[in-house]
Amino acid sequence: MRIIDIIKADKPSLSFEVFPPKTSDTFDTIKGAIEDIARLQPSFMSVTYGAGGGTSEFTVSLSKDIKDNFGVTPLAHLTCINSTKDDIRARLVALKDAGIENILALRGDITEQNKDKIKFDYKYASELVDDIKSFGGFCIGGACYPDGHPEALSQIEDIKNLKNKVDAGCEFLTTQMFFDNNVLYNYIYKIREAGITVPIVAGIMPVTNASQIKRSCALSGTQLPPRFKAIIDRYSSNPEAMCQAGIAYATEQIIDLYANGINAVHVYSMNKPHIAAKIQQNISEIIK
């Protein structure tokens, strides 16, 4: 099924993101966790793609597994800075052969670990969107950043670039994690003003590990509001309490989003079935 048809339906959607293993020796454990998340029958599942290459072929095989064995629609991520045009064409053929209909088209982060693997056929995600669109047959999504992308010169410039990416062929946008819903509501107001009309899928991260979130926020530019910082300060040294508080905070954010008309919520479930299950259970009546 095409993601756009899922998120445009009246029923609120709840989807989960998972990531493939970095090495083959952890494949079975991670596949097991991903399958446990698929058993929850979310609206769809996205499978990330390593911009460092290496094991990125797992994105295709895990997406196919979710679809064929659990009947859950997959959204395969695809990054471009680490690829030549021929590499991307080969990935698109593999995705099509696997019967995958949805791609989240991304540039990929440039980090210390992958900077030597950067190829120069693509500079921005919009160029990848162009190529996927020309290839044909996929429902294409893109990423957007309510707290701003760390490299953007200004939010105005970032939104202009986003408009180009959408005009190239994105049918929906998934947000980077954010911890203050008002940031998202303001952002949506601004992108609508800029003429971006596609549906927004709100990305929510249930924070269960404080040190990990500090690293991710530094990389992604996401701001931590004081109310959330207080939770981290108070519970980061108590993993069980941090996990409970993180799930409660995410649940509260999600309920507020649905109540304010955001119909599609994507949870960064970090391959943790118990977290995905708990969130789904917390809002079971709301998403019925």
Active site residues: 17
203 binds ligand FAD (CB under 6 A): yes
57 vs 20: CA distance, rounded Å: 9
- x-or-dash string of contact with ligand FAD, 144-173, rule CB under 6 A: -----x-xx-----x--x---x--------
CB neighbour list of residue 10: distance below 8 Å, 6 or more residues apart: 263
Between 143 and 191, CB nearer to ligand FAD: 143
Residue 17 and residue 55 in contact, taking contact as beta carbons nearer than 8 Å: no
Q: Which residues pair with 204 in a beta bridge?
A: 267
**Site for ligand FAD (CB under 6 A): which residue of 37, 51, 170, 200?**
51
Instruction: State whether the Cα torsion 210-212-215-217 is positive or negative.
Output: negative
Q: How far apart, in whole angstroms, are the C-alpha atoms of residue 107 and residue 128?
A: 8
**Segment interacting with ligand FAD, rule: CB under 6 A, options 61-69, 119-127, 247-255, 257-265:** 119-127
Closer to ligand FAD by Cβ: residue 19 or 235: 19
Nearer CB in complex with ligand FAD: 155/280 = 155
Among 31, 67, 77, 272, the residue binding ligand FAD under the rule CB under 6 A is 77
The residue whose two tokens read 């048809």 is 5
* Least CB distance to ligand FAD at residue 230 (A): 26
Q: Which residues contact 141 (CB under 8 A, 6 or more apart)?
A: 3, 75, 102, 103, 104, 105, 170, 171, 172, 173, 174, 201
The binding site for ligand FAD (CB under 6 A) comprises 48-49, 51, 77, 79, 104, 106-109, 124-126, 143, 149, 151-152, 158, 161, 165, 174, 176, 203
